[in-house]
Amino acid sequence: MITLDTITEAASRLKGHHVVTPLLEYEQLNQRLGGRILFKPENLQRTGSFKFRGAFNKIASLDESVRRRGVVTFSSGNHAQGVAAAAKAFGVPATIVMPEDAPALKRENTRALGGKVVLYDRHTGDRKAIAEQIERETGAVMVPPYDDEMIMAGQGTIGLEVAEQLSTLGVKADVLLCPVGGGGLIAGISTAIRALMPDTAVYCVEPEGFDDTRISLERGTRTANKPDARSICDAIVTQMPGEITFPVNLANLAGGLSVTDADVIAAVDVLFEATKLVVEPGGSVGFAALNSGRLTLDGRTAVVVLSGGNMDVAAFRNRFGTDSREKTA
């Protein structure tokens, strides 16, 4: 079971290998949304998302003789890049199963980092089964996207940093908002926050149609999304909460929120205009919950995790080629 100790051990492994992302604040947004917002910008992390933390910790925790066999994983893109970069740091091969419709930037970056990319159809294929077949055939070690203690512990180092940074600032956070797909990121963060900042309420945020964690928290049991669901938030579109992550999140989280694709588009725009940060749709859902009014601050302080910034240049240009406010009106 993931604990504060396993997260602290992960922080020791990561030291000197990752970016300790800052807490960023913008008075314009504080005034606009009626509270204090502190962003944890993991879009500035190595490979453009938080995923490097968990991947590096997992691979670093392996015995060297096991690690030499190489690693394999399945991912829509951010975990793919994190695993490829971490494997490259250790000089071992990495094979990544990715959907054919993953953003071109994510596929190209994964290959550039030395990863061997195997493509599949997101709507008809079984990415985990494909990766498991590669595992059996090659002897490579599986590095799961979220359902793994070492992965969760690596992501949990974000929670450690948040607690330390808030302490340095002399600030108490009332809430923390975090994107969720399979649940590894928020499981790690919430474990650290619950141990170090027990009065801070941690909420997961998801796109409508892929709000399986929110629904599962309400029902107390893992619940799958409808198979025909679609969202622009490609980084966090999983079908069901993780088997290992969900019990952690059920114990730690105060609840869940969902946002529409229109909410997300507006949030991406505001983040770029007000902060000059490029945040991909899935990485912006926490801020989208505030910006859309689905959660109001009413003078409270919120930490918002911006989990990634790997947006295609073409998609980014399209976002700002016309007035997005007209698109979302």
The class level of CATH for 4-49+149-327 reads alpha beta
* Strand-pair partners of 73: 96
Give me the pLDDT at residue 329, please: 36
Give me the pLDDT at residue 325, please: 42
Q: Which of 51, 106, 231, 284 is catalytic?
A: 51
* Domain 4-49+149-327 matches domain 51-142 at the CATH topology level: yes
Give me the pLDDT at residue 123, please: 81
Q: Which pTM value belongs to this model?
A: 0.93
Domain 51-142 sits in CATH 2.60.410.10: no
Q: Which of 49, 76, 190, 307 is catalytic?
A: 307
CA nearest 146: which of 88, 118, 187, 98?
187
Per residue in 273-303, pLDDT (tens digit) is 999 999 999 999 999 999 999 999 999 999 9
Q: Is the dihedral of CA 76, 232, 292, 245 positive or negative?
A: negative
- Domain locations along the chain: 4-49+149-327, 51-142
**Whether residue 307 lies in the annotated active site:** yes
What number is the average pLDDT over the span 235-251?
A: 96
Contacting residues for 52 by C-beta, under 8 A, at least 6 apart: 18, 45, 46, 81, 82, 85, 86
What number is the average pLDDT over the span 204-208?
A: 97
Give me the pLDDT at residue 88, please: 97
